[in-house]
Amino acid sequence: MQSKLQLKSQSIKEKIIEIRRALHRQPELAFSEHQTARLVSDLLKSLGYEVHEGVAGTGVIAEMGEGRVFALRAAMDAVAIQEENPVDYASQVPGVMHANAHDAEVACLLGAAVLLAEEPIDGRVRLIFQPAEETADDTGRSGAAKMIEEGVMRNVTSVLGLRVTTSLPAGVIGLRPGAITAASDDFRLIVRGHSAHGARPHEGVDAVAITAQMVTALQQIVSRRTSPLKPSVISVSTINGNSHSPHVVSDLIEMTGTIRSFDEKLRLFLREEMRRTCEMARALGGDFEISFTEGYPVTLNDQRMVELLMLAARDLIGRDKVVFTEPELDAEDFALLSQKAPGGYFFLGAGHREGPRAPYQPLFDIDESALHIGAALLAEVARRAIGRRGDSDTQERISSFLSFRNLAKQA
């Protein structure tokens, strides 16, 4: 038998899809989400929320109720990709696309806002519509960091967020306690040699040849210097030389890339190993400079939040639609919010009917039929976390789940 919340979420299913498509047609890059923020704030005001606009530039905060504060968050920014989907809701902004599913996540949170407005919780809900998850400003601060500075996490007891993903079938919920997304660091590596004509490379120091060996050596750090039981990645993403002639060997090569890890000690170890590996440039007659830009930390899920998520999801969609997932090496600035209060971050499956549609690609798209499930789950967890705190049935079921999990570990 479906709950009132399930029935209500079904009734607004098409509206949530309509919102997602409106956002998809008009994507906006980080810190420029003006039209998106206007759509969000107008809808929230119509629902009776107390709305604060212009937070961290283009962010929106909406609140309703009194008492303990439970926060729900969605990011609003798109990415610089030209969409190639032949659909009537394709991006109308050249070179910009919601290839990150943030349009879907905003639509889910707005759906949750509708559900919570019609059946308020016994507490205060704070809805966070965040700019700039994908990038940082000139000072290195992402949207979450800037919103935290402006007080978005003040008095928050718990915070919940979701990622709409095509890596899970539509309607499946993926979650896990502990680390769920990775820490990220970017690097910039300069290799210096001495220029020479391509016909007489022996007269110089070939920065290209040194770079080729360094790329191979950097890849061996993860495969040979770290435990295979501790996932990590070093990716060299760009290589550019300063010569514009095919006849002249570059004397300066710039490489950029990213590092991902789930452990702070490993994070520091990878940086130090990269510095040590790069010393080979000097052994080969060249020189190097390497610098790191610290990105987002590991997103850590609070155990109690995962338990509430698991129970709410099983009640809403059934036990078979809730899975424990492996952590992902993608990074998320939700991690900054969950450092300020116990956090829960989960995956909402929206795998496309026509097969895999990888994110950050021109043909990325989702199965929209799952979006109302995300809205219902956001609302239900907020209701249980605050509105039914101490509910004996919920507590008994959490205890039962923990006992079962402990037995499973021993088996």
Question: Could you give the residue numbers annotated as active site?
Answer: 296, 368
What does the alpha-carbon distance between residue 145 and residue 128 come to, in Å, rounded to a whole number? 13
Q: In sequence order, what DSSP letters do the residues of 118-186 get, joined into one string? A: HS--SSEEEEEEES-SS-B-TTS-BHHHHHHHTTTTTTEEEEEEEEEETTS-TT-EEE-SEEEE-EEEE
What does the alpha-carbon distance between residue 275 and residue 262 come to, in Å, rounded to a whole number? 20
Sign of the dihedral through C-alpha 181, 13, 309, 322: negative
Q: Are strands 173-175 and 322-324 parallel, antiparallel or unpaired?
A: parallel
Q: Across the beta sheet with 183-192, what order do the strands follow? A: 232-241, 252-261, 183-192, 287-294
What does the alpha-carbon distance between residue 54 and residue 74 come to, in Å, rounded to a whole number? 16
What does the alpha-carbon distance between residue 87 and residue 362 come to, in Å, rounded to a whole number? 12
Could you tell me the end-to-end alpha-carbon distance of the chain, in angstroms, rounded to an integer? 34
* H/E stretch holding 188: strand 183-192
Nearest to 370 by CA among 392, 347, 385, 349: 349
